[in-house]
Amino acid sequence: MKIDHKLIEKYHLGQCSPAEQLLVEEWLLDDTLDSEPLSISITKKTKLETDIWAELNSHIDQSEAPIIVPPKKYSFKYIGIAASIVFLLCVGFYQFSKDAEKAAAIFDNRTSAGLKYINQNSYNIILGKNARAEINTDTGEFKTSGNMMFIPKKNFAFSFSGTDKKKELKHGETYFVLKPQKNGKQVIISKSELTFLAPTIQHELKIQFNII
Amino acid sequence: MLSNRFTLFLSLLLLHLVISCRTEDGGRNIDGKYSLYTMNKDLGNTIITSNTVDSGNLTISKNGIDIPTQQFDRSIIVKDKHFYFLRAGKFKKYTLESNGLKEIAQVAMQDQHIENINWLDRDTLLLFTSDNKTNRRLWIYKITVNDFKINQQQEVKLPSASADFKILSVGFGTIHQQRLLIGYTFNKVINETDFTTIDTMYIATLDKTTLQLENIQKDTRSSYPGGVNTVQSYSFHDENGNFYFMSCPGIALGNSPSKPTAIFRIDSNSTHINPTYFLNLTAETHNHAYGMWYLGNNQAIVRSERRDRYTDFSDHHSTYQFEYYVVDLISQTTTKLNLPFDKGTRKESVLVENGKAYITIDDAKDQHQVWIYNIKSKNIQVGLTLDQATDFIVRIDRLHQISN
């Protein structure tokens, strides 16, 4: 018998046999028992770590050389105050850098046959081969050539080529912004609508954006 | 270390409490006779099961079981209280629980996607797959679903039709005259938003046991025979063993719209397409259609688009345009059913049983209902209604097999 989340759930529901109950309680108190690690895959865990570090690194200036400070015991009170200050500074810096990101941006992948991934504060964009995008989050203008995927981190309303009406792009959804049709109308398809396209086109888009 | 365990313990406790709070609201039936697969306005997907679709009201929030869209879509296979889905190299079997689909078995199917399926019997499923890399090669997998084992797995080498048309589309695979018949065609991608289909339908005849290719027929009266039948039905055998399939050259499947949408027949005593039988639906309705279900007594129902209502492929699914016609396969006449326009490109929206056709419609009044067409009396009435959290009802299936 081994500890897993099912057994712990069972424990909470009071459905454990006395032996199982004992095992859970022992596991909790005893630090020497062998048990399986949490069922999160190594790759997932590593990815999570790298993501967190990548996000942090973008806001932290690396110091030239590490300064070694001799270990010294501080009281919890001072550690608490110091942590709060660091936290506030980080939040402040993050907010500042967020506001500082320009509303108008140009992304160019015209010379590349591969994908280009761009991570902005308020959206992610994946440019397809030879694609280019001009995005202004203030005016809501979104000009493109080629195909791209757009992943909003907040709700947007953009105006695209061929129509005066603004198109809402919602946080939580992924959009394919495709080449304008012969009539000049830009095609914007959400990932959940992909299933309604002809299978041949679905497959082509999945291959092109590497999402099979 | 110890505190880590406590944190883990507490977080699991919390997670558990969250999950139990959700399931204790009681409205989620996991064992209904019918299942409906919905795509919802909040971008989520749900499965609702119900013991009846003849009447009643159900809501997504109270009765729907959330289906994560990262893992599933509406092409899920529903059979005998189980669900089957191929994703990321694994074909998996699931049961429905109040908090979602629970995997109970899996087999590896590296780099494959399903083009078509056929249930040989309640335990044996044939999968017609192609590889994601080329989308040109064809494999057949024979799987017994009770022990969930692959019993046969073979590539069928189909000769190329043209150097330009490199993508395979399998429209049906059926046992007929003790042979395996596979209807297919080839597509060509022009760019990411445009493609077309070769001007020919192909039917391969194979030995049903060894899967050896015996013969290939060609027919140029239309193109794109059938379609991906995990998403929508396009073919059937009648009571006398005649096999009918429709062609789908319209923009939602073949995108070779100058060809007509038509119904073809392979007679019960032959493995060849009947050269004189040609039910030209486009000539009747002046439109293309996708989806065909057998009503019995030489009648079928088809789901037909309205060219005058949509602009192009990008609004094809969101336009209220689909009409349902009853087709007499012998007299070759069509009768439009008096139903509101439906939306959603390709849907498994018809279920036929007990002399009734249950038709799910998402109409312009934002109503999401099962309509009941009585085949004998031709009477139409409204049955089960879902709430307005629904965007599309994309499947209606019998979840429990009717005992024979």
Contact A28 B9 (CB under 8 A): yes
β-sheet with A141-145: strand ranges across: A104-108, A132-136, A141-145
Residue A151 contacts B where some CB pair is shorter than 8 Å:
no
Average pLDDT estimate for B116-132: 97
Please give the pLDDT value at position A68.
56
What CA–CA distance (Å, rounded) separates B349 from B359?
6
- Reported as type and span, the H/E element at residue A56 is helix A42-57
When mean pLDDT is compared over A105-114, A143-152, B268-277, the highest value belongs to B268-277
Specify the higher pLDDT residue, B81 or B18: B81
Contact A200 B346 (CB under 8 A): no
Please give the pLDDT value at position B25.
46
Asked if B235 contacts B216 with a C-beta cutoff of 8 angstroms, the reply is: no
User: How many A/B residue pairs have CB atoms within 8 Å?
Assistant: 98
Contact A28 B73 (CB under 8 A): no
Which among A160, A183, A174 has a CA at the least distance from the CA of A206?
A174
B227 contacts on A by Cβ (under 8 Å): 199
Does the pLDDT value for residue B373 go beyond 80? Answer: yes
pLDDT band at A67 (very low <50, low <70, confident <90, very high): low
The torsion angles phi and psi of B337, rounded to 5 degrees, stand at -85, 145
Asked if A3 contacts A27 with a C-beta cutoff of 8 angstroms, the reply is: yes
Average pLDDT estimate for A57-67: 58
Interface test with B, best of A35, A195, A212 (most B CBs within 10 A): A195
Please give the pLDDT value at position B20.
46
Interface test with A, best of B19, B314, B315 (most A CBs within 10 A): B314
Strand stretches in chain A, DSSP E: 104-108, 116-119, 123-127, 132-136, 141-145, 148-152, 156-158, 167-169, 175-178, 187-190
Of B6, B8, B39, the CB nearest to A192: B39
CA distance A198 to chain B (A): 5
Tell me which DSSP letter residue B41 carries. T
What CA–CA distance (Å, rounded) separates B186 from B200?
8
Interface test with B, best of A36, A45, A165, A200 (most B CBs within 10 A): A200
B16 contacts on A by Cβ (under 8 Å): 8-9, 12
Chain B residue closest in CA terms to A174: B43
Q: Is the dihedral of CA B218, B223, B226, B231 positive or negative?
A: positive
Contact A181 B312 (CB under 8 A): yes
Chain B residue closest in CA terms to A196: B345
Chain A residue closest in CA terms to B40: A192
Count of beta carbons in the 10 Å neighbourhood of residue B53: 24
Which among B387, B297, B401 has a CA at the least distance from the CA of B64?
B387
Q: In this predicted model, what pLDDT tens digit does every residue of A93-141 receive, in sequence order? A: 655 555 556 789 999 999 988 999 999 999 999 999 989 999 999 999 9
Quote ipTM for the complex.
0.90
Does the pLDDT value for residue B378 go beyond 60? Answer: yes
- Any bridge partners for residue B119, and if so which? B125
Contact A204 B75 (CB under 8 A): no
A208 contacts on B by Cβ (under 8 Å): 192
Tokens of B347: 């849907």
**R_g of chain A, CA atoms, integer Å:** 25
pLDDT band at A46 (very low <50, low <70, confident <90, very high): confident
Which among B155, B177, B157, B272 has a CA at the least distance from the CA of B217?
B272
- Backbone dihedral region of A4: left (phi > 0), alpha (psi from -120 to 50 degrees) or beta? beta
- Stated pTM of the model: 0.80
CA distance A184 to chain B (A): 12
CA distance B256 to chain A (A): 12
Please give the pLDDT value at position B27.
76
Average pLDDT estimate for B136-163: 97
- Residues of chain B with pLDDT > 90, as a percent, come to 89
SS3 at position B1? coil
Average pLDDT estimate for B241-261: 97
Contact B16 A28 (CB under 8 A): no
Q: In this predicted model, what pLDDT tens digit does every residue of B333-348 receive, in sequence order? A: 999 999 999 999 999 9
Does the pLDDT value for residue B21 go beyond 50? Answer: no
What DSSP string runs through A87-110? HHHHHHHHHHHHHHS-SEEEEE-T
Tell me which DSSP letter residue B159 carries. P
Amino acid of residue B43: L
Specify the higher pLDDT residue, B401 or B327: B327
CA B50 from centroid of its chain's CA atoms = 20
Residue A208 contacts B where some CB pair is shorter than 8 Å:
yes
The per-residue pLDDT of chain B, averaged, comes to 94
Which among B372, B320, B370 has a CA at the least distance from the CA of B345?
B320
A210 contacts on B by Cβ (under 8 Å): none
Does the pLDDT value for residue B24 go beyond 50? Answer: no
Interface of A with B in 2-31 (CB under 8 A): 5, 8-9, 12, 27-29, 31
Please give the pLDDT value at position A4.
79
